[in-house]
Amino acid sequence: MANFDVIVLGSGPGGYVTAIRASQLGLKTAIIEKESLGGVCLNWGCIPTKALLKSAQVFEYLQHAGDYGLVAEGVDKDFDAVVKRSRTVADGMSKGVQFLMKKNKIEVIKGFGTLKAGKKVSVKDVDGKESEYSAEHIIIATGARSRELPSLPQDGKKIIGYREAMTLQSQPKKLVVVGSGAIGIEFAYFYNAMGSEVTVVEYLPNIVPVEDEDVSKQLERSFKKSGIKIMTSSEVTKVDTSGDGVTVFIKTSKGEETIEADIVLSAVGIKSNIENIGLETTGIATDRDKIMVNDYYQTNIPGYYAIGDVTPGQALAHVASAEGILCVEKIAGMHVEPIDYGNVPGCTYCMPEIASVGLTEKQAKEKGFDIKVGKFPFSASGKAKASGASDGFVKVIFDAKYGEWLGCHMIGVGVTDMIAEAVVARKLETTGHEVLKAIHPHPTMSEAVMEAVADAYDEVIHL
């Protein structure tokens, strides 16, 4: 039986990053993966979806070439080629992870891993052969999959999840997206931009419901302007797939509506991959589909840890990576501080993009803060106007008493690359006045952050 210091079960952005950091710290490390290195995020999530979205964005640019004084005639898309490019990008990234495993001398074990008592893992390969491995520390990073609703059972053809949405053989003429979180909204944008007729059905009163209400309302306006139908406070009660397409029955505040579509995309959240991995055998505690861990990702059973989507924290790739690094640094005896989950940025890569960190205005008020709120629209930004990207804004929220930056919410082109300023500033406990006096380059989209802060303190210049 091969013995290691650390075995990581799962090679997503939590697992493979954890394995690399463990190896850097001098720990003999192995990683177990049943499919492709990089997990869902790299192969079926974060990366290939961004490739699809880029193709949609370029297609939109070409269709609006006249807005920039250019002529582009006969512009069309090749849906198969768009999907193929996305898969090529994902395959290339997976090969990159393979290289990193070799570079860091991490043993890659292919197969399905099952936890055993006594700090052991049994792995069954594609041929059914079982092998057993042991380690002082076993880290569970098995991620999650698309959650299914009883009223919306996925068949992989007419009712699909995110995996099928990335590799459809033909583009649907009509698509219904159920759920308006990041996954649903990104695919709604992609298919609409590519020419499909898209309807978004959201159970709650606002789309992207975790975002600040001003952001939700702006995205709804932008989507409606693009031709996407938005149905909020609505619920899919059943679907009929007996015909050529799908009939979707939707309960709304005005009564029941039916929509005919070619395909329904179920994007109603995720389900943790914790079944059949040996949690019961080892006695590892779970609660409501999540593995229970402490601040350092230790389970109730010594020697077993869990990170990423299988734990109660935010289900985000960068969170899983951060958790894994902290976990193995603690194992290696380093001094580490627990992650501040209140300072984790969230990004949605539709167009316009959404990025946020910290409290929404509503949350800040509910917590009893006396707040200063600033908002700067990209319609007043020289760079945004010159780029033809004036939809959206930057919104900032500060504690009026101490100047603490409580929250930052952005919607617009490129804002996912701008939010890190707020994350770092909040980490350093920067005040509003300090941000205001930090010179931002002109003309840039990022100076909208400074302008929004100036608005909060009644010093805005360009508004």
* Residue 181 annotated as binding site: yes
* Residue 207 annotated as binding site: no
CB atoms inside a 10 Å sphere around CB 270? 19
Q: What is the dihedral of CA 238, 239, 242, 243, to 10 degrees?
A: 140
* Residue 358 annotated as binding site: no
CB atoms inside a 10 Å sphere around CB 87? 16
442 is catalytic: yes
- CA–CA gap between residue 183 and residue 186 (Å, rounded): 5
- CA–CA gap between residue 359 and residue 193 (Å, rounded): 31
* Residue 128 annotated as binding site: no
Q: What is the dihedral of CA 310, 311, 313, 317, to 10 degrees?
A: -40
- What is the Cβ-side half-sphere exposure of residue 64, based on CA atoms within 13 angstroms? 13
* Residue 227 annotated as binding site: no
143 DSSP assignment: -
* Residue 368 annotated as binding site: no
Q: Residue 83, SS3?
A: helix
Q: What is the dihedral of CA 354, 355, 358, 359, to 10 degrees?
A: -10
* Residue 183 annotated as binding site: yes
- CA–CA gap between residue 457 and residue 408 (Å, rounded): 15
- CA–CA gap between residue 429 and residue 208 (Å, rounded): 28
* Residue 60 annotated as binding site: no
* Residue 438 annotated as binding site: no
* Residue 366 annotated as binding site: no
* Residue 179 annotated as binding site: yes
First to last CA, the chain: 69
Non-local (6+) Cβ contacts of 51 within 8 A are 85, 86, 89, 90
Residue (of 180, 159, 173, 193) closest to 52 by Cα position: 193
- CA–CA gap between residue 384 and residue 353 (Å, rounded): 13
**Per the residue annotation, which of 64, 433, 442, 462 is the catalytic one?**
442
Which residues does the annotation place in the binding site for NAD(+)? Answer: 179-186, 202, 269
Which residues does the annotation place in the binding site? Answer: 50, 113, 179-186, 202, 269, 309
Instruction: List active site positions.
Output: 442
Which residues does the annotation place in the binding site for FAD? Answer: 50, 113, 309
